Structure 1
Amino acid sequence: MRRAGRWFARGRRRARCTEICLLVTVASLLSASCSPRASDRPENAIVIGALLPFSGSESAIGRNLEQAMLLAVDDVSAAGGLDGRPFHLLSRDSHSDRERGLEQLVELLYVDKVAYLVGPEENDLAREIEPDVKELDILHMLPGYAAPSIERSETRGGWMRLAPTPFAVGCALAKVAFHEGAGTVNSLAARDDYSSSVSGEFTTIFGGLGGRALPSVTFMSGQQSYASSIHSAFDWNGDQTLLSAYPAAAATIVTEWTVSGRPGTWLLGPALRTEVFLANIPAGSLDGYYGVSPSLSLRSECDIVDEVEETVECTTGNAAAFSGHFSHRWNGETPFPAAHIYYDGIVLIAMGLVYSQATSGTIPSSGRELREIIRELNSPEHEVASWRDLKTAMAKLRAGIPLRYAGAAAEYEFDIYGANKHYIMQRWTIDGDAFVDVAPVSVACYMGH
């Protein structure tokens, strides 16, 4: 069976390479007449590729995330770029679909030949492209909440994960449930890698805190009705049930749950902190229910005021300043929480390239090399550089001074694999048609991890 599996995978790989070659050939013949974006690209620009959901079920977030990255490109270019070379963002649409998104990823890598890739939001697409990232040895920046785990060492390809891991999210959710007095929990989780991982970490950590995890229920997204899954999850009569899913499916579930009489109590996963979710559930149906998402307060803005209760207090000046910066650029629009992280992804790439050019006379030829430079720059002992003054930061980097980055979403510090370390998660609740932040949660769950 193992040999058959290897032959099957190898055959798929050959077929895919053939498709890629055909795409490259056709694109080369037609690029002069079919690529309006080429005329928008500044001469000699450093191009960063991005795959975002501009259409399909997740389309509500795509444009907002692109706006954050375009703002970052403007900011690092205005700060001097790479020895005067501007940065440029080349975006493609994932269509919120695996097959169509893969076609666009292939074009970014093999037609546009980007050396730096940001996204996609979709977990399965990010996993699908892993062999190509490794083969081409590019830098793959993963800002999305649902980005795959990168706990592996590779000799080629550089992966960097900016959002909290499922373990950090599960830790925060378990603490919220436990401190709210829940004795038993379970989850209703979509059958995708990210939702399942968050669900598993949540129930495991809750058990480690002294509570009891009841059987959880999974479902496939895209169904017309989730009534049977809802019934199965709440049949266990848990004190709290985690809803771990993407907004489209979750909104349908909450609507059906409301119609069925609102049994039980929800706990909400981080992907649900989005306006499109609130807009598609019955008004007031989730008022008072808690959720968690990445904190947008810098670590230096937070203090643990009660170590026993692990009560955390944070200020939000940095996030508010970025929101104002974003709104000024985009005619009053507000950045989604994830947009802060996407902005930082672009700046981290630029900082690594500028520092490498200054200290070695050249930019890294491999994604793995650039990842190591970014990791080393963000060591805790280095001087802090803020997104608010990139002109000064870039000048110091060009002088060969290493700087760690205090960005729009976090003060960055990476583990040996390139995953950002998170110490605080933001707890929130829902009040009518708005999310309301409440006391943050310390991410300090060990449980053998």
Structure 2
Amino acid sequence: MIKPFINNSRKLALAMALMSLAGSLVACGEQGEQTNSPQAGGGDGLKLGALLPTTGDLSAIGQNLPIAFKLAVDTVNACGGVNGKPVTTVIEDDQTDPAAGATAMTKLTESDRVAGVVGSFASSVSSAAIPIAVKNKVMMISPASTSPVFTEQAQKGDFQGFWARTAPPDTYQAKALAALANKKGFKNLSTVVINNDYGVGFERVFVEASEKDGAKILNKDQPVRYDPKAATLDTEAGQAFANKPNAVAAVLYADTGSVLVQAAYKQGLTNGVTLLLTDGVYTEDFVTKVGKDASGKSILAGALGTVPGADGQALAAFSQKWKEKTGKEMTAYVPHTYDATVLMMLAAEAAKANTGEAIKSKIREVAAGPGQEVSDACEAIALIRAGKAVNYQGASGNVDIDANGDVVGSYDVWTVLPDGTLKIIDKVTPKS
């Protein structure tokens, strides 16, 4: 089971974990990771970037993702690297902020000259970064940006094939959350979402799916979408919990979402109402921020949520490796980050070139082609070197990337226990 991340001294924890990992694995050396090549991913070996949040609204989950990225690279470097040379890396903190993410992506593509970027997490950050990646012909694979907007843009050809993701889009997760609400018998629902691509896209699909299941969306004509930069969220909380819903589907980020839930609780609006949550707050850091009642019970006790599951055949082996190499519990989107990174390297090896265009040309072939199914990164790259086709089966699932850059996944159902811990209790499949 993937456990939620417990946030303790975020920056120090990240720094210590990266230092420990670099010392225990065969690595390229940090100085080499910052050298520039004359062309993105040119003749100096494959260079990959990571654009992930170690600060900001998603940092509680995001801290472990750069470590997973580095683990994948060090694993492949330990078995010979890519195209005969070690893979080098550059890691940037996008701060869970579109402007900061765009600046970091510009650095990665135009200064560091990477061939591929693993990231971002927030859909809003990925939206800001993708045009920069496309302009510079850099492949971008997100382990966690789930907005349906990306599917629509890919269908229109906006990304020219330079985009993919290893987490399924919220087209599926929103349907899964609606299926969960239906399974629990909730027929009077309300919604409240963060006002960005992730929140609004999720809301639209959730409402459609819930109505197909016979539910009534009480605030459909006046949807509640909160500004993550707002000073208070009392009004939004009141609007979301009005009209006595059975449940409120809340699409939130941890820091700002905790403020909204606290506001609803303080107004006495949460009694008898089940919160339906998503992957963005699948972390005990969020539960801690929301707090406890006077009796010491978590305010979120009984809340239900969905999160993309990681149930591929490689998960058990990867979980053991993660624990041995990092000493940390595996958290949400760690397998998805590892798989995104491995796919980049396999595609470059298959293309026999270290450019973004080369990765793009082979990414679907190594992820979903007719080749030999293989889950070990070193075994996969050895097969490719021997001239054989592979179909990588990831720790996060089969990672069968389609023409829009999407994968379809299963979903775990989680709940908040009275003591504030999180527990996986079920699985749910989105309806077609």
Q: TM-score range by the shorter chain?
A: 0.7 to 0.9
Aligned residues: 382
Match of 1:406 among 389, 393, 405: 393
Equivalent residue, structure 2, for 1:109: 109
Could you say what secondary structure the match of 2:402 adopts? Answer: coil
Larger radius of gyration: 1
Work out the CA distance in 2 between the residues paired with 1:49 and 1:378. 20
Q: Shift of the alpha carbon at 1:207?
A: 0.5
Work out the CA distance in 1 between the residues paired with 2:101 and 2:34. 23
Alignment-mate amino acid for residue 282 of structure 2 = R
Alignment-mate amino acid for residue 280 of structure 2 = A
Equivalent residue, structure 1, for 2:83: 83
Query: Matched residues, percent identical?
Result: 24
Work out the CA distance in 1 between the residues paired with 2:111 and 2:72. 24
Q: Shift of the alpha carbon at 1:154?
A: 5.1
Work out the CA distance in 1 between the residues paired with 2:325 and 2:159. 40
**In the alignment, is the contact (CA less than 8 A) between 2:130 and 2:140 conserved in 1?**
no
Work out the CA distance in 2 between the residues paired with 1:430 and 1:132. 39
**In the alignment, is the contact (CA less than 8 A) between 1:156 and 1:366 conserved in 2?**
no
**In the alignment, is the contact (CA less than 8 A) between 1:160 and 1:371 conserved in 2?**
no
Equivalent residue, structure 2, for 1:18: none
Equivalent residue, structure 2, for 1:282: 291
Within-5 A mapping of 1:125-140 = 125-140=125-140
Could you say what secondary structure the match of 1:141 adopts? Answer: strand
**In the alignment, is the contact (CA less than 8 A) between 2:370 and 2:390 conserved in 1?**
no
1:70–1:371 CA distance, 2 compared to 1 (3 A): same
Q: Shift of the alpha carbon at 1:247?
A: 0.6
**In the alignment, is the contact (CA less than 8 A) between 2:57 and 2:256 conserved in 1?**
no
Q: Shift of the alpha carbon at 1:374?
A: 1.7
Equivalent residue, structure 1, for 2:18: none
Work out the CA distance in 2 between the residues paired with 1:352 and 1:250. 38
Q: Shift of the alpha carbon at 1:119?
A: 1.1
Equivalent residue, structure 1, for 2:372: 383
Equivalent residue, structure 2, for 1:292: 306
TM-score (structure 1 length as normaliser)? 0.80
**In the alignment, is the contact (CA less than 8 A) between 1:137 and 1:157 conserved in 2?**
no
Work out the CA distance in 1 between the residues paired with 2:104 and 2:246. 44
Work out the CA distance in 2 between the residues paired with 1:210 and 1:222. 35
RMSD: 2.2
Could you say what secondary structure the match of 1:189 adopts? Answer: strand
Work out the CA distance in 2 between the residues paired with 1:385 and 1:81. 18
**In the alignment, is the contact (CA less than 8 A) between 1:146 and 1:194 conserved in 2?**
yes
Q: Shift of the alpha carbon at 1:289?
A: 1.8
Work out the CA distance in 1 between the residues paired with 2:98 and 2:368. 36
**In the alignment, is the contact (CA less than 8 A) between 2:191 and 2:224 conserved in 1?**
yes
Could you say what secondary structure the match of 1:201 adopts? Answer: helix
Work out the CA distance in 2 between the residues paired with 1:40 and 1:242. 43
**In the alignment, is the contact (CA less than 8 A) between 1:371 and 1:418 conserved in 2?**
no
Q: Shift of the alpha carbon at 1:429?
A: 0.8
Equivalent residue, structure 2, for 1:371: 360
Q: Are 1:353 and 2:336 an aligned pair?
A: no
Equivalent residue, structure 2, for 1:187: 191
Equivalent residue, structure 2, for 1:426: 412
**In the alignment, is the contact (CA less than 8 A) between 2:182 and 2:210 conserved in 1?**
yes
Work out the CA distance in 1 between the residues paired with 2:130 and 2:145. 17
Which runs of 5 or more structure 2 residues have no equivalent in the other structure? 1-28, 38-43, 293-297
Work out the CA distance in 2 between the residues paired with 1:183 and 1:170. 16
Work out the CA distance in 2 between the residues paired with 1:62 and 1:175. 28
Could you say what secondary structure the match of 1:378 adopts? Answer: helix
Work out the CA distance in 1 between the residues paired with 2:244 and 2:159. 49
Work out the CA distance in 1 between the residues paired with 2:159 and 2:234. 47
Equivalent residue, structure 1, for 2:203: 199
Q: Shift of the alpha carbon at 1:385?
A: 0.8
Within-5 A mapping of 1:87-236 = 87-146=87-146, 149-150=150-151, 151-152=154-155, 153=157, 156=160, 158-215=162-219, 216-236=223-243
**In the alignment, is the contact (CA less than 8 A) between 2:174 and 2:202 conserved in 1?**
yes
**In the alignment, is the contact (CA less than 8 A) between 1:173 and 1:292 conserved in 2?**
yes
TM-score (structure 2 length as normaliser)? 0.82
Match of 1:342 among 337, 345, 349: 337
Residues 122-169 of structure 1: CA deviation (Å, up to 9, x unaligned): 323322233322222221111123455143235845111221111101
Could you say what secondary structure the match of 2:95 adopts? Answer: coil
User: Where does structure 1 differ by over 6 angstroms across 4 or more consecutive aligned residues?
Assistant: none
Work out the CA distance in 2 between the residues paired with 1:123 and 1:190. 11
95-104 vs 270-279, which deviates more? 95-104
Work out the CA distance in 2 between the residues paired with 1:51 and 1:441. 30
Equivalent residue, structure 1, for 2:423: 436
Match of 1:417 among 394, 397, 404: 404
Equivalent residue, structure 1, for 2:5: none
**In the alignment, is the contact (CA less than 8 A) between 2:33 and 2:90 conserved in 1?**
no
Could you say what secondary structure the match of 1:414 adopts? Answer: coil
Q: Comparing both chains, which one has the higher relative contact order based on Cα–Cα distances under 8 Å and sequence gaps of 6 or more?
A: 2
Alignment-mate amino acid for residue 372 of structure 2 = E
Alignment-mate amino acid for residue 87 of structure 1 = V
Match of 1:248 among 255, 266, 276: 255
Work out the CA distance in 2 between the residues paired with 1:274 and 1:166. 19
1:185–1:416 CA distance, 2 compared to 1 (3 A): same
Residues 209-256 of structure 1: CA deviation (Å, up to 9, x unaligned): 222222131111132321211111111222211010111111112222
Which runs of 5 or more structure 1 residues have no equivalent in the other structure? 1-35, 301-317, 358-362
**In the alignment, is the contact (CA less than 8 A) between 2:98 and 2:124 conserved in 1?**
yes
Alignment-mate amino acid for residue 425 of structure 1 = Y
Residues 358-401 of structure 1: CA deviation (Å, up to 9, x unaligned): xxxxx16553x533412123336432111xx3332221111121
1:136–1:66 CA distance, 2 compared to 1 (3 A): same
1:366–1:60 CA distance, 2 compared to 1 (3 A): closer
Q: Shift of the alpha carbon at 1:428?
A: 1.0
